[in-house]
Structure 1
Amino acid sequence: MEGLSYLVGANLYELDPDLKALLARYDPGFPERESLYRAFGERMGKEVLEVLYHIDQDAPPVLVMHDLDGRRVDRARLSPAQRSLLSSLRPLNRFAYEGQGWVPHFALGYLLADGGVYCILTITHQVAYALHKYAPEHREVKEALLYGEAFGATWMTEIQGGSDLGANRTLAIPEGEVWRLYGGDKYFASGAGLADYALVTARPEGAPAGARGLALFLLPRLNRKGELNFRVRRLKHKLGTRAVPSGEVELEGSEAYLIGKAEEGIYYTLENLTVSRLANAVAAMGIAQKGLLEALFRVKRRESFGRRLLDHPLVRRDLVDLRVRQAGGLALAFHAVAAFDRAWEERPPYSPRYHLARFLSHLAKNRTAEHAKESTALAMELFGGLGFLEEYGVARWHREALITPIWEGPSNIQALDLLEAMEKKGAHLFYLEELSALLQGHREPEAALALETAEKTLDFLKLEKEAVWYAKEALRRLADALAVAVLLNLGEGYEPLARLYAHRFLRGEEYPAWAGGLWET
């Protein structure tokens, strides 16, 4: 891959001052753990990026439907390089269960930030999470997912409903010690053909309609007779995230095990979505950071009209946009991670602390995805025609960024969930308390602007009869106000970035010319 990406051989941790600042704030074990982050950043540049490039360009998963004896196996064949990489990355999923919190997991996921490989790790993690909290009787499965070679998956959506989980048709009927699942086509099933165990939503016979009637089940790949428990119809041909096999799964009499209480299934499902939404947020900013670094290396090396691209004012303006989006988006993501870290052990019914964490996950997931999409497109543009060529790294980062607004619920879903959290849980009140606490003692104009923006946005939503129409813009405004507040708390060096973020995204004005000085070098 040398010559195809400027990141080859680079230490991605050492090139990331924002990550260092946020870990110093949010990871209590940062002084002892920094060597781990540094080593992982070095490994990314020296080894992992090349493997990820190989998988994406030359060796995506392939579905093998039958073995030599004609038996249906429905297995995704991975390249040896991908299998070896995944095996070496399994420790990323263990931190929370070994008493080290969630920040290290998401920090390393951010440095990895490959939509396919990190997705495989995340969906495996999600199954372990559900079993850890709500199905201790499946401890051996959890251990196999965390410490063995088993993979997990989360299959919730169906073809007729997509993000509308209440439209799910999969029916669950009890049969002795197991349940049988009928009539379900899990249509966008990441991990299809790879997962040994999957979390699936299904409606117990006689349960009410809608999302509230769904229960959560553990679906093993093999039934008690050792036979294939479900069928993979096909793998999908995707624009990005090629490392994770995504397919269509047919459930017809499949054996499954109820997780926790059937009537609480939707709560477990939403908890699981919170985990993956946070993963989506850090991955989005990790992808954006790779695009920023590619662009920065490029403009320092490339000459045009007699001088480096970096020395052109308009190029500096574009770099400022990349830098400001990166700092604000990453600050938002890790503040949401920290909130979840404080609340993750809670169970239904939840406290205000958990409702705040869920509220922040909507803000972070949505805004980081928007930033990643815009940033990687701009990074491609700074490369000119080379940015549009598939053999070079920067084009891939934009492809990978495009899934982040869609995964785990697009912006419309995030906005609707935000309104629901406000109306039913009063989560916006906890958000305002959090924002006010962050801004306490700050006299900068941006601090007052952030608080005023949040208060006016929430007041407007409460008074407006057509609140749904404005919910997406409110989602952005609340996220941007929080991003400014977190930046102001990262120390004196981040005050200019907080000013610029507020100027651009709260006031809606162009960056001032003095911002070009951020790139004096």
Structure 2
Amino acid sequence: MEHQSYAYGHNHFRLDPDLPALLGRCWRGWEAHRGELEAFGELAGGEAYRVADHVDKEARPVLVMHDLAGNRIDRVRLSPAQEGLLRRLAAINRPPYEGGSWHHHFAQGYLLADPGLYCVQTITNCVVYSIHKYAPRFSAWKEQLLSGEAFGATWMTEVQGGSDLGANQTQASWDGESWRLEGEKYFSSGAGLTDYAIVSARPQGAPPGPKGIALFLVPRLDAQGRLNYRVRRLKEKLATRAVPSGEVEFAGAEAHLIGEAEEGIYYLLETLTLSRLANACGAMGLARKAQLEALFRVRRRKAFGRALLEHPLARRDLTDLAVRIAGGLALTFRAVAAWEEAWPLRPPYSPRYHYARLLTHLAKARTAEHGTYCTQLAMELFGGVGFVEDFAIARLSREALITPIWEGPANVQALDTLEVLTRKGAQEPFLAEFVPRLEAVGTEEARLALGALRRTLDRLQGLEPAEAQWHAKEALRTLADAASVALLYDLEAAGGERYAKLAALYARRFLGGEEYPAWALKEPQVWAGERAPETPA
């Protein structure tokens, strides 16, 4: 791998210019965990980086349908390196359930980033979350999941519905002893690897639409030890090849109801919020790895008689990477902080929960855009070899393609943003947080962000529902950008004047529609960061 990647073999926590400042701002006592994060950064830039590339290129999961006796087992065979690493990585899910912080979990998810490795932990975490909060009688299964002895998954998608959960047709019926599921899930991440899945289904007699959906816990083996469902096939995917994803069939599968049936859609959406935060961390983590690859590259590669780093256009692109990553990461960890406060809440929810949802929608959608753009731009900085599968940068760009789609594309995030703004009252806390912050800064760029924020919300209020939907995606982007500017300014106290400069650049570019001002050309602390890598020997 050392011949295909510049970032391999380096500690990705120590190289990160933004994560310590963010953790210092939002996670009290994080310094007590610095050593653990540094060790994880070593893993992320070393073994995990290498295993992810190996699995992607040479050792994808294979579905094994029968054992030696001819029995259906529907189990995937993994590379031993991937299987062993996945079991060790299970520990990143522990902190929130053992009195720790969600920041701890998501910081490690961001450092890991690789969708093939982090996705398995994310979908497992959703099962742990559901058991912990709404089905504590299955605590023994929860411990298996947290220890790496077992893996979990979230299976909701059906071919006729896609993101429309209300269109789910999988049926649940009570046979006098247990619930039984009939139906199929069209895109099931973790198929063949999963031991316990949470599955959406409609109990007999339940009303149509999303309110009729209940959430069930479905083990791979039933009470008699028999295969409880079948994996029809695995999907071929452009990206995230390391996650076995396939079609799952339920034919009388034994299932356990989670919580109250009539609240199932709310439990499901809670896990979806959790997954969207992970999606945002993954998008920014991929962008960071691509930036690290590019920073090493421009120091080592010469063109037209000098290092790429000396060319103004290369510095302009590095500026773009630094601004997008810092802004997206600040927004992501603000959403994580809101989740940290809201996750114990249950239906019917308080405004605090709906505000956490709003910030999550903004973060998920905007970081996905930043992540795909950053990995593409970094690939361009490599020139021709950036598009060759031999090298790590090409895989990072492929992997980033999934982040705008997984856990709901931008259209879904925009619709959900409208809902929490107009029906759940999330506009008020959003204004209460970001208007005073931007007013207190008082710079021209802060006023630009403040004006964009106010105009966007005022406009949405004055539109008919259909028109509001038409403009919702751009409104989501503007609100996310205005919040990012405020959050970057807020980091100046913890991280120095670099963040005021990043905030000004972000506002000019994404809210003012301007090119980055030329003063950034001579600001290496902006485009390289104070903890940027030196040229490797």
Q: CA deviation at 1:437?
A: 4.6
Q: CA deviation at 1:425?
A: 0.6
How far apart, in 2, do the equivalents of 1:78 and 1:276 lie?
24
2:479 equivalent in structure 1: 478
- CA-based RMSD: 1.1
Runs (4+) of structure 1 exceeding 6 A deviation are none
1:23 equivalent in structure 2: 23
How far apart, in 2, do the equivalents of 1:440 and 1:203 lie?
49
Structure 1: which 5+ residue stretches go unaligned?
none
Give the partner amino acid of 1:19: L
- With 134-143 and 107-116 compared, the bigger mean Cα shift is at 134-143
Equivalent pairs counted in the alignment come to 520
2:415 equivalent in structure 1: 416
491, 513, 516: which one aligns with 2:518: 513
How far apart, in 2, do the equivalents of 1:212 and 1:420 lie?
16
- With 104-113 and 455-464 compared, the bigger mean Cα shift is at 455-464
2:534 equivalent in structure 1: none
| 1:74 has 2:74 as partner | yes
| 1:345 has 2:383 as partner | no
Q: Secondary structure at the match of 1:199?
A: strand
Give the partner amino acid of 2:332: A
Q: CA deviation at 1:108?
A: 0.4
Question: Residues 79 and 442 of structure 1: is their aligned pair in 2 closer, same or farther, counting only changes over 3 Å?
Answer: same
Q: CA deviation at 1:434?
A: 2.0
2:535 equivalent in structure 1: none
For residues 387-422 of structure 1, the C-alpha deviation after alignment (integer angstroms, 9 at most, x for no partner) is 000010000000010000000000000001111112
How far apart, in 2, do the equivalents of 1:229 and 1:454 lie?
51
2:231–2:247: 8 Å Cα contact kept in structure 1?
yes
1:114 equivalent in structure 2: 114
How far apart, in 2, do the equivalents of 1:480 and 1:210 lie?
34
Q: Secondary structure at the match of 2:336?
A: helix
Q: CA deviation at 1:63?
A: 0.3
489, 494, 497: which one aligns with 2:499: 494
Q: CA deviation at 1:493?
A: 2.6
1:280–1:407: 8 Å Cα contact kept in structure 2?
yes
Give the partner amino acid of 1:503: R
1:135 equivalent in structure 2: 135
Task: Output the TM-score relative to the length of structure 1.
Answer: 0.98
For residues 405-451 of structure 1, the C-alpha deviation after alignment (integer angstroms, 9 at most, x for no partner) is 00000000000111111222111222111213543632222222222
Aligned positions of 1:20-419 closer than 5 A: 20-182=20-182, 184-419=183-418
Q: Secondary structure at the match of 1:185?
A: strand
Q: Secondary structure at the match of 2:47?
A: helix
Q: Secondary structure at the match of 1:64?
A: strand
Give the partner amino acid of 1:268: Y
Question: Residues 381 and 98 of structure 1: is their aligned pair in 2 closer, same or farther, counting only changes over 3 Å?
Answer: same
- With 26-35 and 193-202 compared, the bigger mean Cα shift is at 26-35
Q: CA deviation at 1:291?
A: 0.6
Q: Secondary structure at the match of 1:218?
A: strand
Q: CA deviation at 1:165?
A: 0.7
1:369–1:404: 8 Å Cα contact kept in structure 2?
yes
Give the partner amino acid of 2:4: L
2:91–2:148: 8 Å Cα contact kept in structure 1?
no
1:320–1:518: 8 Å Cα contact kept in structure 2?
no
Give the partner amino acid of 1:513: A
Q: CA deviation at 1:148?
A: 4.7
How far apart, in 1, do the equivalents of 2:72 and 2:319 lie?
54
For residues 293-314 of structure 1, the C-alpha deviation after alignment (integer angstroms, 9 at most, x for no partner) is 1111111111111111111111
How far apart, in 2, do the equivalents of 1:256 and 1:336 lie?
33
Q: Secondary structure at the match of 1:17?
A: coil
Give the partner amino acid of 1:515: A
How far apart, in 1, do the equivalents of 2:473 and 2:119 lie?
26
2:89–2:148: 8 Å Cα contact kept in structure 1?
no
How far apart, in 2, do the equivalents of 1:42 and 1:122 lie?
21
Give the partner amino acid of 1:176: G
Give the partner amino acid of 1:372: G
How far apart, in 1, do the equivalents of 2:520 and 2:398 lie?
29
Task: Output the TM-score relative to the length of structure 2.
Answer: 0.95
For residues 248-272 of structure 1, the C-alpha deviation after alignment (integer angstroms, 9 at most, x for no partner) is 0011111101100001001001100
